[in-house]
Structure 1
Amino acid sequence: MANNNLSLDTAFYALSDPTRRAVISRLLRRSAPVKELAEPFKMGLPSFLKHLRVLEESGFIVTEKIGRTRTCRVRVERLEEAENWLSEQRKLWQAATDRLAHYVEEQMPGDGTDD
């Protein structure tokens, strides 16, 4: 369980930044070279490479160097791990809110026909 928590901590840290989320969204369409990925962002390449490093270390992307070009691609299975955890949490909260709604409905007075 501790490894799973560390993995989730790493995943959600990586996803906490809008630049990194934008990179993942872009890579979900297709793989891309680093230079192409960096173009829309108003930051220097060294700063952008730090974002890629976080994504790579967290397992969300992999990079491959062919010649002088480094290409990135997303690891969908890593996204699925985060999505599965969120789905489990959603189920727990929905069950809790359903129980609360049922309780509140039981506590409310009737429609007045029993008087």
Structure 2
Amino acid sequence: MIELDEDSADAFFHALADRTRRDILRRALAGEHSVTALAASYDMSFAAVQKHVAVLEKAGLVTKRRRGREQLARGDVEAVRSVASMLDELEDVWRGRIDRIESLIQEG
């Protein structure tokens, strides 16, 4: 599992903050797609979809490779797992705080 530093976490959550990027990531996790094929799925320009893919790639959530003239995008499952792991850690912190609050209320 990839260990996230704060800059990587910021990039991940920035990338995931947009619904189009989340949808592109879901598609890319299901299988490799050309950026052209991805762009055909959205009511926006090819350049706009290309920028969304670039944000996902910069965050490490998607990798791209060339096949002839096409750019192929594939989701990185390990990167998504590291995001999930970070969220699990945050959930544990909050559950601990809630447990402490409940204990204080019961004592009071």
| TM-score, normalised by the number of residues in structure 2 | 0.90
Tell me which of the two structures has the higher relative contact order, counting C-alpha pairs closer than 8 angstroms and 6 or more residues apart.
2
Q: Which residue of 2 aligns with 1:103?
A: 104
Q: What stretches of structure 2 of length at least 5 have no aligned partner? A: none
Normalized against structure 1, the TM-score is what? 0.85
Q: How many angstroms does 1:102 deviate by?
A: 1.8
Q: Which runs of 4+ in 1 moved over 3 A?
A: none
Q: Is the 8 A contact 2:35 2:49 kept in 1?
A: no
Are the counterparts in 1 of residues 38 and 49 from structure 2 also a CA contact under 8 Å? no
Partner Cα distance (2:38, 2:86) in 1: 28
Where does the alignment leave 5 or more consecutive residues of structure 1 unmatched? 108-115
Alpha-carbon offset, residue 106 of structure 1: 2.3
Secondary structure of the corresponding residue to residue 63 of structure 2: strand
Say yes or no: does 1:36 pair with 2:37. yes
Deviation of 1:50 (Å): 0.7
Work out the CA distance in 2 between the residues paired with 1:14 and 1:103: 39
Highest Rg: 1 or 2? 1
Q: Distance in 2 between matches of 1:28 and 1:83?
A: 15
Aligned length: 105
Please, which moves more after superposition, 11-20 or 33-42? 33-42
Partner of 2:62: 61
